[in-house]
Every structure is written in C-alpha cells, then in structure tokens.
Chain A
C-alpha cells in the first residue's frame, strides 16, 4: 500500500504545516521540478569574489587596507554564506511539498564538496545550483558529469593538482615532479558511482584518473579543459576504452552511471536515506531495477520511490538530520519562505547556523567526501540531542508571533501520527514555551 499524504509529507518532505494540507503524491513529484530552479549562485560570481578577495588580502598585507576594512570584507563573505543557508532553509520549509528540496540535500551530500575558505562557500553554493538542482529530474549520468567537472569538486578533490605524467605540461617541467592525483578518480568510483564494495581494481582508478587529467579550474582562465595537461593515449576503465577530451570524460560518466553496481549502490543509498538505516531489500531491488531499465533516469526513480510500499512499512525509522529538523520545525511553526528570507544575518547565525553546528551538522562542512552519516545513533547522542532540546526551548519563542497553543501545535506538527503518550504529556507542560518544545524535542518529531 502506498503511503498516506500526511506520512508522505513527513517521510519525503519537511513535514506538516499549518498553512497547507499535506500534498498528494503527484504534487510531491511536482516539487522536484520546482527544486530544479537555481537560487542565483554562480561559478562566475564565486570566481569574481575569489579574485576580488585575493586583491583585498594583498592590499591588507601591503598596508593599503586597514584591518577593520579587511574584516568587513571577510564578514560580508561570511554573510553571503549565511544567505545561502537562509535560502536553503526557506525553500525547504516553505515549499508546498518539500520532496524536491529533500533531494537537493540528498544529492548535494552524495557529491559532498567542502569549502575551505570564505570565497569557496560561494562556489559551494554555485555547485548546488549548477551541478545538482538542474539534474534532479534528469539523468544521473548528467548530474555525475556536472558534479565531477564542477570547479568546486575539482578544487576539493585535488583534480586541479593532477597532471598526466606524459602530458606536454609534465614533459616540459621534468624538474617539477608534477604527476597524477588519483583522488577524484578514486572517489568517483568508490563514493559517487560503483561503491567501495564493487568489483573494480586499482588499475581502473588509475586509468580513470588519467582520463580525467586536463580538467581544470583556474580563476583567471575560463577554460575547463586543458589538453596540454591531459595524459595522451587511450584509457581503459572497467574494460571500456576511452580516448582524450571532455566528450570522452562525459561518455565515461554516462557508462559509470548505468553500471549495475552503480544502480545497486545508489538504490541502497536512496532507500537508506528515505526509508530506514537498514532498508527493506524489496525497495532496494525495485529501485535498482528502475535504475537499470531507465538508464539512470532520476525522474523514473523519484516516481518509483514515492509510490513504494516500503515507505509506509518503515515509517519512523529515520532520524531527521539537523538541517531537516530545523526546517521541519520552522515549517510546523507556520513560518513560510517569505518570513525566513526576511531574517537578518545575525538571526540566521544565532537561530540556524550555530544551532546546526551544535547539533552536529555545521552547514556545508562535512568531515570528508563521504558526507554526513545516515544512522540515527550518529545524530542522537547526549550532546547532540541536548542541542536539539535547547533549540526547541529557546528559538521558537524568538521567531514566532503569535506563539501557538501547544495542544493545537501537537496536531499541526504530527497530525494523526501523534502517539497517546505525547498527547498526554504536552497539555501538562507548565507553559506554552515548554509545551511546544516538548513536541519539537519528542522522538516522534525527530523521526520520520
């Protein structure tokens, strides 16, 4: 049996809202199309900010810019990072059906690329707009190509430092010891496509890394591929020979995207994220079958996921990650996209950015290329749960006016899924602030 709209909103979106009823499944799928629209961050703007900041740093070092002015520039860049978080939360909490934005979170995490300085945060936002959003309903192979060749990924996984050992560039600089960096090639196979358990060899990693040479990001140069850096000659990845150049890299990404191991790996990952830490095998198998039949068509896979009976059968087995918890809380409290977008930067920092860090999910700063953990036990530790409870006690009263009656809020936030235990407890809170906090801090609200 397919999942009912209320549970679907909790499982596949950002939960329930007092502003609108939970969406039917057709609207869940429409939300994916809405999420494909960009948020306005671009590689061009991030590159300009990078060059600009380099000049500002130089001016500071030369004493031409006062430390105060320098700090103001850094603060403005940090402010734009706050804007990126605010926009993401606004779109998540405000969407009529949040499935599309949940997919943005999922795929941005799948292709984790962590910014390491203030201007890279703008590039990380551009990465989501340019590599993830446009392909939510498209072919996985296209998303893979867009993500793997995006400047943010080239920087993060050291592709910029990778040089074909026999390339023109390397042969002209024998003294420099430039050479291959396998990082991106390895993570494409291990994390982005086949999965670490799949049947591939070190030679496949190396050949793929050689195929990827030439991909480059230089803020002062628009070219994304430099043939003189590329390793000449054919490369063979998983038995398929490839020639030189970007179209051949795209062909390799297309083939990897449709590989049966990729279908299995990503079907399991989707099922683990949306259904259960230990997902039903039937859900994994059904998604993998659709993946192979459709050639990795994500719209077909989204449709299959939304309709799958495995979702209803595993209701409540996942824990909302901190981003999702905050978005779902604001949504349940009746905040729409407009109100969230109207938050001032200090409010975004105090109520969204810092709490996410305390809850264990600093925005855009996953520890490694494998992204955030999926298991409930990774998120519900004494310290991290305390941060959720603390947020539930302190933030809503600072943002919400008029403040809801906890008894009404209980049914707004959880609908028919509310348990008797919680329904008995909430009316006994000694004030409305704590009543609402108990709903938000409850296991039921933190699960989906």
Chain B
C-alpha cells in the first residue's frame, strides 16, 4: 500500500505537468462549480485572539492582562455578554449587527509546543496533522479542495499577492497574481513583446494571460484604493465576480511581542479594510461569500513585560460574508482560570480550526465529509456541524 508520503510526492510531481498547461483558457467555463465563494485570508505572525475577541466575561482575564484586552471598559465593542471586539475593528460592527460576521474562539491547528511561525504557517496551509514532518508536507488544503471540485478550472482558484501561498499549491491548476505585477507597458512595447514571444508557446501564453488579467481588471482598480490590503481584496473581489470561486491571500504584521496596543492597529485596520473592500467589491455576490481569516496560532494568555504577548496556542478564527450565520461567537469556552490554560500559559484549543473550514466547504461546495476527513484534511475528525452558514 502506498504511504501517504508517497501520495503527497506524486501530487507534487503532478504539479509540474499541470503547470505546463496553458494557464488561461477563458473559453472553458461551461461547468463552473456553483455560485458560492470562499476567501481564505492567512494572518501571518500569530494574531492574539484574546485581544481581538476579548472574553471580558471571564474573570480570569484581568489577572492575566494588565493593560491589554481591557474589555468594554478599555473601549472594546460589546459583542455579547461575554465577548467584546477590539476597537480597531469597529469598522466591522455593522457586519456583526447584520449577522454577517462571526468568530470561533479557542481554535488551533494540530501544531503544538514549538511555536515557530514558519512551521505553524506551513501546517495551517498544508491542513495536515502532525504525523509527518512539516517540511515533508507538500501541497495545500485549498488545492486538495479544488481537486475534489467537479468542473474546477485553473480560473476557479486564485492566490493573490507576492507571498507564496502554500495553501493553494498542488496538482490542481490555480492562478496566482499580484496587483503590483500589472505592467505599465507602452502600446508599442506591448506589441513588440507579443511579436518576440510569438514563436515560444510558454512565454507567449504566460504573457498573454498576464495581459488578459491586467486588462480585465475593472476600471477603478488601477487608480483605486491605496495600501496592500485594499489592493489584494479588490483584486480578489474582481476575480470572484468572474469565474473564480476560491481566493486566498495573506496579511502580515500580527507578531506583537511588544507594545501590542500600538502594533496591532495596523494589521487590524488592514483586516477590516480587506473585509470591507471584499464586501463592497463583491456587491450582490457578497451574499454567497464566506471569508475565513485564520492564523497559525494564538498568543500567550499573559501579557509579557513589554506590553505584548508571546507565541501561544489557542486563538480565534474570523468568519465574514453574507453566507455566514453571523452575530455569534462559536465554540466552547475552555476558560482562563487556574488549571484551565494549556501548559499554564496559553488558551487551551477547544476545537481544531480545520473543522470550521471543513464544514464551510461542506456547506458551500457540497464536498462530502468523508472526502474532507480523508483527503482534504487527512485524519481530521470533523465532529458535529457548528452550522456556521446561514
């Protein structure tokens, strides 16, 4: 029997030949897989879930955090009688009120104890367990979802930005594009390049596809919003309004070891901007969209001596979109009191973050649970349906 390692290898090899196909075939959209849309935002650097969704109803929180995460008294926005939202995400409150924003708290990947950003992100994107060394895990879970989607074409999934997105790598064709890759060529240079690439199919097709992507961007995008988050999200929305159904990009800056109150303002602002840009850009399609913003792990329950927090374990997952059953914080609360923390330092993970992603794809794309537990998130126990979709 082939080992899983061997299977993963085969998938990695197949990626080479899949990549050899011309990437864009704008004619073949006959069987695009449905109308539902999934956006996965990877929050690189470990977002402090306890500060973003503050469990002010847990009396132990105040003892752990001296200045940070002060709940409604510190300006956090009341979500319910237990949780409050970091004030820098106030732009998202209308979504919460409209039932288009939700969180799952005390979630984690299976990654434990070493608390390395790189390994943690690799595992988050690979979507696998701990049964195989991280650097031997090939391919990402969104790519395996694509492989399981009937009628998927290269255009079905997009990774956006210059960050390499392991989450979409693998044998199924997917497109990638960075808004800053758009070329400003004079018409004459464009013509001449088309001429010199004409006899080399590899270069000809790649250049033509680059030009089509660039040219197909809606008018406002070129001069549109400034800032990476807005540009990434605007591009993703643009694609999702077309044939694309899955998009992924990453936002960085979450590693808040010191002066967290200041440090988190920018990434939280970026996250809010990205989600609001997606909503605005998607228009009517927002109703069929689910956004999952996930991070490699949470941070220490205790504030450190520099006004920050260090690498931890359990964290929070943000879910947004018209397809989400919002206005709630999902998950069982493990508590922050004596004996309730993981290794007496971190929020104890109550549920595997992959279970939420798994149930989202079950609801959005009809992916069979057996397939999710076997192939997309191998070894995952999906558990009961948290019913995160409206």
Shortest A56–chain B CB gap in Å is 13
For residue A156, which residue of chain B has the nearest CB?
Answer: B135
Known: A367-B164, A422-B196. A430 touches B189 (CB 8 A): yes
Q: What string of 1s and 0s marks CB contacts (under 8 Å) between B125-137 and chain A? A: 0000000010110
CB of A443 within 8 A of CB of B189, answer no
The complex places the Cα of A330 from the Cα of B193 at a distance, in Å, of 21
Among candidates B20, B181, B196, B199, residue contacting A358 with C-beta atoms closer than 8 Å:
B181
A443 touches B196 (CB 8 A): yes
* List of A residues within 8 angstroms of B188 by Cβ: 428-430, 434
In the docked arrangement, what's the CA distance between A224 and B103, Å? 49
Contacts A377-B20, A425-B196 given; indicate if A368 touches B185 (C-beta within 8 A). Answer: no
CA distance A247 to B260 in the complex (A): 51
Q: Are B206 and A382 neighbours in the complex by a CB distance under 8 Å?
A: yes
Cβ A438 vs Cβ B192 within 8 A: yes
Q: Judging by beta carbons under 8 Å apart, are B178 and A358 in contact? A: yes
CB distance from A44 to the nearest CB of B (A): 25
In the complex, are the beta carbons of B20 and A375 less than 8 A apart?
A: yes
| Residue on B nearest A442 in the bound complex, by CB | B196
B181 touches A386 (CB 8 A): yes
> Which B residues are in CB contact (< 8 Å) with A383?
176-178, 181, 210
Q: In this assembly, does A26 line the interface, its C-beta being within 8 Å of a C-beta of chain B?
A: no
A393 near B185 with CB under 8 A, answer: yes
Residues 2-48 (chain B) with a chain A CB within 8 angstroms = 9, 16, 19-20, 23-24
| A307 at the binding interface (Cβ < 8 Å) | no
| Closest Cβ neighbor of B212 among chain A residues | A382
- Contact residues, A313-356 vs B (CB, 8 A): 319
Which chain A residue shows the least CB distance to B24?
A382
Within A162-219, the residues touching B (CB, 8 Å) are 183, 196
Q: In whole angstroms, what is the CA distance A425 to B23 when docked?
A: 26
Query: In the complex, what distance in Å separates the CA atom of A381 from the CA atom of B202?
Result: 8
Smallest CB separation, B257 vs chain A (Å): 8
Q: Is A116 in contact with chain B by the CB < 8 A criterion? A: yes
In this assembly, does A256 line the interface, its C-beta being within 8 Å of a C-beta of chain B? Answer: no
Q: How far is the CA of A398 from the CA of B198 in the complex (A)?
A: 29
B206 touches A378 (CB 8 A): no
- Nearest to A433 among chain B residues (CB) is B189
Cβ B192 vs Cβ A60 within 8 A: no
Interface membership of B305, Cβ < 8 A: yes
In the assembled complex, A295 has its CB within 8 A of some CB on chain B? no
CA distance A360 to B164 in the complex (A): 8
Which residues of chain B in 134-188 are interfacial with respect to chain A, using CB atoms and an 8 Å cutoff? 135-136, 138, 162, 164, 166, 175-178, 180-186, 188
Min CB distance B68 to A, Å, is: 16
Contacts of A40 in B (CB 8 A): none
Query: Which parts of A405-447 form the interface with B (CB within 8 Å)?
Result: 419, 421-422, 424-426, 428-430, 434, 437-438, 441-444, 446-447
Residues of A close to B166: CB separation below 8 A: 367
Closest to A316 in B: B200
CB–CB A385/B258 < 8 A: no
A328 to B16, CA, bound (A): 25
- Which residues of A are found within 8 Å of B70, using beta-carbon distances? none
A237 nearest CB across to chain B (Å): 20
Asked whether any CB of chain A lies closer than 8 Å to the CB of B364, the reply is: no
Cα of A375 to Cα of B162 in the assembled complex, Å:
20
Scan residues 12-34 of chain A and give those whose CB is less than 8 A from a CB of chain B. Answer: none
User: Which of A362, A419, A421 has the most B CB atoms < 10 Å from its CB?
Assistant: A421
Main secondary structure of the interface of A (DSSP, over half): helix
A378 proximity list for chain B (CB < 8 A)? 16, 19
Residues of chain A in range 53-87 having any CB-CB distance to chain B below 8 Å: 60-63, 67
**Nearest neighbor of A430 in chain B, beta-carbon distance:** B188
User: B206 touches which one: A60, A367, A385 (CB < 8 A)?
Assistant: A385
Query: Hey, which chain A residues are within 8 Å of B210, CB to CB?
Result: 382-383, 385-386, 389
Set of chain B residues within 8 Å of A419, measured between Cβ atoms: 199
Q: Once bound together, how far apart are the Cα atoms of A426 and B188, in whole Å?
A: 11
Measured in the bound complex, the distance between the Cα atoms of B185 and A116 in whole Å is 37
Contact B118 A63 (CB under 8 A): no
- Residue pair A183, B133 in contact (C-beta under 8 Å): yes
What residues of chain B lie closer than 8 Å to A62, measured between beta carbons?
A: 305
Q: Are A389 and B305 in contact (CB under 8 A)?
A: no
Residues of B within 8 A of A430 (CB): 186, 188-189
A196 x B206 contact (CB < 8 A): no
Pairwise interchain contact A368-B136, C-beta atoms closer than 8 A: yes
* A305 to B184 Cα, complex, angstroms: 42
Q: Are A61 and B306 in contact (CB under 8 A)?
A: yes
Interface centre among A116, A358, A377 (most CB of B within 10 A): A377
Q: Which of B19, B23, B305 contacts A375 (CB 8 A)?
A: B19
Q: Note all chain A residues with C-beta closer than 8 A to B9.
A: 196
Q: Do B258 and A60 have beta carbons less than 8 Å apart?
A: yes
| CB-based contact A375/B16 at 8 Å | yes
Check A227 for interface membership: any CB of B closer than 8 A.
no
**Residue in contact with A443 in the complex, picked from B116, B176, B200, CB distance below 8 Å:** B200
Q: Give the complex CA separation of A428 and B196 in angstroms.
A: 12
Residue in chain A with minimal CB distance to B118? A116
Whether B192 and A373, one on each chain, are in contact in the complex, defined by CB atoms closer than 8 angstroms, is no
User: A381: which B residues are within 8 A, CB to CB?
Assistant: 19, 23, 176, 206
**Chain B residues within an 8 Å CB radius of A393:** 183-185, 189
B213 interfacial contact with A, CB 8 Å: yes
Task: Return the CB mask of A371-411 against B: 1 if under 8 Å, else 0.
Answer: 00101111011111111011001000000000000000000
- Whole-angstrom distance from the CB of B241 to the nearest CB of chain A? 19
Contacts of A367 in B (CB 8 A): 164, 166
Contact partner of B138 (CB less than 8 A), chosen from A319, A368, A373, is A368
Are the C-beta atoms of B136 and A67 separated by less than 8 Å?
Answer: no
B197 within 8 Å of A (CB atoms): yes
A70 nearest CB neighbor, chain B only:
B258
CB <8 Å contact, A376 and B193? no
A425 and B195 contacting across the interface, CB-CB below 8 Å: yes
Q: How far is the CB of B97 from chain A (nearest CB, A)?
A: 37
In this assembly, does A158 line the interface, its C-beta being within 8 Å of a C-beta of chain B? yes
List of A residues within 8 angstroms of B257 by Cβ: 61
Interface residues of B in 278-328 (CB under 8 A from A): 304-306
Q: Which residues of B contact A158 (CB under 8 A)?
A: 133
On chain B, the residues within 8 Å of A157 by CB distance are: 135
Residues in A with CB closer than 8 Å to B192 are 425-426, 428-429, 434, 438
CA distance A378 to B206 in the complex (A): 11
Task: Identify B183's interface contact among A196, A390, A426, CB under 8 A.
Answer: A390
Query: A357 near B: Cβ within 8 Å?
Result: yes
Which one, B175, B183, B196, B259, contacts A438 given CB within 8 A?
B196
Task: Kindly provide the distance from the CB of B309 to the nearest chain A CB, expressed in whole angstroms.
Answer: 12
- Residues on the A chain within 8 Å of B198, using CB: 421
Among B166, B258, B259, find the residue whose CB has the most chain A CB atoms closer than 10 A. B258
CA distance A360 to B198 in the complex (A): 24
Asked if A385 meets B189 with Cβ closer than 8 Å, knowing A367-B164, A369-B135, A390-B183, the reply is no
CB of B209 within 8 Å of the partner chain: yes
Find A389's partner among B19, B162, B193 (CB 8 Å cutoff): B193
Contact of B306 among A60, A441, A443, A447 (CB under 8 A): A60
Which chain B positions have C-beta within 8 A of A429?
Answer: 188-189, 192
Q: List 15 A-B contacts (CB under 8 A).
A: A63-B306, A368-B136, A373-B16, A377-B20, A377-B202, A382-B209, A383-B176, A389-B207, A393-B184, A424-B195, A430-B189, A434-B192, A443-B199, A443-B200, A444-B196
Which B residues form the contact surface with A (CB < 8 A)?
Answer: 9, 16, 19-20, 23-24, 116, 118, 133, 135-136, 138, 162, 164, 166, 175-178, 180-186, 188-189, 192-193, 195-200, 202-203, 206-207, 209-210, 213-214, 257-259, 304-306
